[in-house]
Structure 1
């Protein structure tokens, strides 16, 4: 079992969040082998002692545990399946944990294919953005076998503070959809509140002092509204990836015959922003919707 050895950890995807996550594992003393399509994004990890792999295949061949956090479901497919994929090249008895926000259907497919190869799989999407990743304070939502979750829990604790086992394969991804639905309409409210404060001639920073700790309080209000006021729209989480998540949530909701008008509105607003050149900005750039 994993707890009886010091595993070599593979990490595929060293972008805005993945780099910080891999760094926490590296600094905890684990041997880390990393792969990213753009090697430059992994240079800081390599300088700290991580090893470089030329493909997901090479990561899978070397590692006992492989974490992945890539962009889109199609990227997850390419990373896990085929002759160059993690499952085809992983070692029996190894663990694969996809932390990308992806589809519950794909999470179940990875679980079943991995199981057929004697590999243990979890879907474990995260919330908390770049700040949560840097501070190892992510929320981690986990689907898969509970016994496997318990094996990986010590590693999860190096990445996050709110780690919850949600159920069987796909449950982590379904939970992340709940998270994204809540964020989507909350972000509209945060932006409208700031715009309202400005139009009313108030000092928005003082307004935040009053409302952030009251009934209106939220993570987005406390952490992202100050970035809006500073006109810092660097991504903690890309708009283009949020649109991807909202599309997944809408598809899943439709399959359950669930109407989600707030989510639909948010997606339309974000798509207008993306079409206006903001797809690589952070989600809090929704503030710019009122400035267009």
Structure 2
């Protein structure tokens, strides 16, 4: 993008009224970064207490997603499950019934590509632009505004919202038509599934061998085996920290979407299917609200039997 055009576009977005639905582990920080850039925000979360920090920073807390939409030029959503996306866009007091023509809706939930297309079609019929823009980078990336943002939709809409995306992330790409952002996120989650089980088994082996886990990560995390998972979530495992940067229950949902999409493409993903079963076992053990590094507890328990 030419520098002059970029400056003009960023100036045009200055003072944009932001709507934000979903102020959980990641959404709270993402909205806060937009507010730090000077944008006013109307926010909604099903559990109102989760909006407290944003309200203290100056956000206006709304009673419904529709109220958010009526007071916003660009409405971002990042909720838990596809059924939640469906509710905030199409349900009673939903976004699409209240958003004005000319506004933009951006769903940053990891959700179903087909649902992203439905939102796009419904929004287009009302003169509203729509992008699907799931993210990767966890709570750290959300806090530090270094997220990877994978976007599906029309190029003109992507370019319009790009200055806002830059308040939240570093690696921002338009991946294709509506739904393409979600397909890209599925590719991301498939890779994460494989690296997570490798991370956990590696550290279980090191622990059993009597090694210091941080020292192991210092070495292998800087070599060919290095990954975001070992260098970030591995450190949390070493500290016995299983708090969520990304919930197990949401990762199980993501793997289910990826497997369903793979079946529709007549594609076999046996590695993903195996890892999903381990995470389902984590849910069965009551660990669904731990971070994805909680897989370590599942395999540790299995090896203790």
Does structure 1 residue 239 correspond to structure 2 residue 248? yes
- The correspondence for 1:4, drawn from 9, 12, 36, is 12
Does structure 1 residue 30 correspond to structure 2 residue 24? no
Aligned with 2:298: secondary structure? helix
User: In the alignment, what sits opposite 2:227?
Assistant: 218
Does structure 1 residue 205 correspond to structure 2 residue 224? no
Does structure 1 residue 109 correspond to structure 2 residue 118? yes
User: What is the Cα deviation at residue 4 of structure 1?
Assistant: 3.0
User: What is the Cα deviation at residue 144 of structure 1?
Assistant: 0.3
User: In the alignment, what sits opposite 1:120?
Assistant: 129
Alignment RMSD (CA, Å): 1.1
Distance of 1:17 and 1:153 partners within structure 2: 19
Distance of 1:227 and 1:135 partners within structure 2: 18
8 Å contact kept, 1:3–1:151: no
Distance of 1:12 and 1:150 partners within structure 2: 22
User: What is the Cα deviation at residue 16 of structure 1?
Assistant: 0.2
Superposed CA deviations along residues 146-180 of structure 1, whole A, max 9, x for unmatched, are 11000000000000001011000000000000000
Consecutive unaligned residues of structure 2, counting only runs of 5 or more, are 1-8
Distance of 1:3 and 1:258 partners within structure 2: 45
Consecutive unaligned residues of structure 1, counting only runs of 5 or more, are none
Distance of 1:9 and 1:126 partners within structure 2: 18
Distance of 2:16 and 2:219 partners within structure 1: 48
8 Å contact kept, 1:205–1:226: yes
User: What is the Cα deviation at residue 2 of structure 1?
Assistant: 8.8
User: In the alignment, what sits opposite 2:167?
Assistant: 158
Aligned residues: 292
User: What is the Cα deviation at residue 206 of structure 1?
Assistant: 1.2
User: What is the Cα deviation at residue 247 of structure 1?
Assistant: 0.2
Distance of 1:174 and 1:85 partners within structure 2: 25
Q: Which moved more, 1:196-205 or 1:105-114?
A: 196-205
User: What is the Cα deviation at residue 201 of structure 1?
Assistant: 1.9
Distance of 2:106 and 2:299 partners within structure 1: 39
User: What is the Cα deviation at residue 82 of structure 1?
Assistant: 3.5
Give the TM-score, by structure 1 length. Answer: 0.98
